[in-house]
């Protein structure tokens, strides 16, 4: 069970706008999606940028950070974080993001979950995968790969071997999803999410992972805001969730992927 109250994301003094994204799954195979992400980083006028997991399709270790297209992404993150905080949470695809990544990018690491308080409201942030209890096979896998011993053993393997393992896991994931209706994918367990929010003393849960963007007012008395995944190469889907004192707003990227702020 997560321990709340220990990890909170600081909001810059006088902040007027916060923007959230997740599930970009950046890779060399998605050049248009990457270009849109770089445009958002360069042109967003928000005072705080929050990336809630799966920024990358796979992260096999910080020692692979010079493999294309990662240098361009890390450089853009560094420039963006020099202007205002950019916070990054590890997801189920990039849970191996390490200290060297955060030092090089200038980004702030986020615990999962963590609390964010702004505009008179307390919000709980999570990638969302830990809440999807119905996906039992994944939860077993997650429990294994989040152990420090497993990660140390994996990172000790040659890079080529790690890349092959990551590619194999991705192929297996795609095969399991083939022909499967989106509605059958696991969703956060309501009872567990309610318990998390109670412990965090929060009234809003913001998460990604499920690739089913939308807002839901729960009968338990809290609101769920699900982030969009990004795919501008095989589909036209990319969205930023903005939060200001006036409320929440979903902003779709233009079809050319250029973010106007």
Report how far residue 237's alpha carbon sits from residue 128's, in angstroms, rounded to the nearest whole number. Answer: 20
Cis preceding linkage at 69, omega within 30: yes
pTM here is 0.95
Q: Kindly tell me the burial class for residue 181, based on how many C-beta atoms sit within 10 Å of its own C-beta (0-12, 13-18, 19 or more).
A: exposed
- pLDDT at residue 255, rounded to an integer: 74
Cis preceding linkage at 113, omega within 30: yes
pLDDT digits (tens, 9 = 90+) for 181-211: 555 568 999 999 999 999 999 999 999 999 9
Q: 């950070």: which residue's tokens? A: 65
Report how far residue 4's alpha carbon sits from residue 252's, in angstroms, rounded to the nearest whole number. Answer: 32
pLDDT digits (tens, 9 = 90+) for 216-249: 999 999 999 999 999 999 988 999 999 999 999 9
């Amino acid at each position: 069970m997560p321990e709340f109250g220990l990890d909170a994301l600081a909001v810059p003094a006088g902040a007027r706008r916060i923007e959230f994204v997740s599930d970009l799954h950046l890779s060399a195979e998605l050049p248009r999606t990457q270009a849109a992400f770089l445009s958002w980083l360069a042109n967003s006028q928000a005072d705080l940028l929050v990336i809630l997991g799966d920024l990358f399709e796979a992260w096999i270790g910080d020692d692979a950070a010079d493999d294309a297209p990662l240098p361009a992404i890390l450089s853009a993150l560094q420039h963006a974080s020099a202007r205002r905080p950019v916070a990054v949470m590890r997801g189920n695809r990039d849970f191996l993001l390490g200290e060297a990544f955060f030092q090089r990018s200038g980004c702030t690491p986020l615990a999962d979950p963590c609390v964010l308080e702004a505009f008179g409201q307390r919000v709980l942030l999570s990638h969302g995968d830990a809440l999807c209890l119905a996906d039992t096979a994944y939860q077993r896998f997650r429990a294994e790969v989040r152990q420090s011993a497993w990660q140390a053993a994996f990172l000790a393997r040659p890079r080529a071997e790690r890349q092959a393992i990551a590619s194999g896991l991705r192929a297996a994931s795609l095969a399991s999803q083939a022909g499967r209706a989106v509605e059958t994918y696991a969703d956060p367990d309501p009872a567990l999410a309610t318990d998390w929010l109670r412990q965090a003393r929060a009234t809003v849960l913001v998460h990604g992972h499920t690739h089913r963007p939308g807002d839901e007012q729960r009968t338990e008395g809290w609101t769920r805001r699900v982030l969009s995944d990004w795919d501008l190469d095989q589909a036209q889907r990319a969205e930023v969730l903005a939060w200001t004192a006036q409320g929440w707003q979903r902003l779709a990227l233009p079809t050319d992927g250029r973010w106007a702020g």
